Structure 1
Amino acid sequence: MAKTKTRDRMNNEINAGSMADIAFLLLIFFLVTTTIAEDKGILVKLPPWSDEEPDITKLKERNVFSVLVNAQNQLLVREEPARIGELRERAKEFIMNPSKRPDLAEGPRNAIISLKNDRGTNYETYLAVYNELKGAYDELWDELSERRYGQPYSDEMPFAQRKAIRDEIPMVLSEAEPTNFGEEQ
């Protein structure tokens, strides 16, 4: 057997010139084929931007349904402790005021729901509270639509019918700036 010389060992190298091309092609392939998941959130229509100072009018206390969520995820509705499970029915009763109580809203057009949370509030709790308040309006719109048009409120309804329902029961959900972590309202 012939012995290999050190000169022959030096010539045994791998040609890596095309490795950069292959890596670049793989990068392009993965960028093109990867789908990026879009974050889903709460669809809220924001008011248009205005440089004017807001008109601060004195609201009647009876027309404001205040909902506060603290850092311990406890709920305070109109200064009384409450559970999330009873929030929807209380909001519906407040908005419609079927028994004409003096401590509830004067009418659906005057009802304002104010939601305020702490920065330490769990996101799940915030969403649960928001969903219950939004659900109250959805149920009220369905009930009114059934009475008037014989069908539930939906996007398939003519625009004029949906507008008439929303004009009679407008959704006024005011979200206040969250308080600092652990700060009581």
Structure 2
Amino acid sequence: MSDATSPALQPSFSPLRLGSRSAGVQIGAVLCGTLVLALASQIEVPMVPVVITLQTLVVPLVGALYGWRLGTLTVLAWLVEAAMGFPVLAGGAGGLHHFAGPTAGYLVSFPIIAALTGWLAERGWNGRNVLLAFASFLLANALCLVMGAIWLSSLIGVEKAVAFGVTPFLIGALIKSALGAAILKASVREKSA
């Protein structure tokens, strides 16, 4: 007797196939992912009060490529490194105070958006359907901006939070969403007939 539910338990999109790898490979992937996130954080366009970095491209990409569970774990590990003072955030920053400053809402959103894109990728919003992949990245970026603005508004008010914490990032969110969808499209391995 076959189990009809078992295919539903398997991710439908897993270009790295990390879920079926050994614990050692998965730990290595998490460490590699935190390194990539740290490097992406150093590529920045200075703005006040929040800089533009490649974090909002790489965070949802890690979720989509690693799967929602391992992707979320990777982003959480990176945030723990940041809280411990490792220089893994924008501009080589680190420390617990960043989780109470202007960027706190964005930082808190990162594991959530990694989980979101990973979960959606496993359900077909991935490189096999580039429009849905784009939409998943756009949703992730929108959620990040909303969560960041909510926190930022408690510090500087709603109007300033939208003006400085959302509006300057809208074009970047579109571009990063398109890049993320393109990377997912490139990651799809065509099955030979």
> Which structure carries more strand by proportion?
1
TM superposition score normalised by structure 1: 0.34
TM superposition score normalised by structure 2: 0.33
> Which structure carries more helix by proportion?
2
Rg larger for: 1
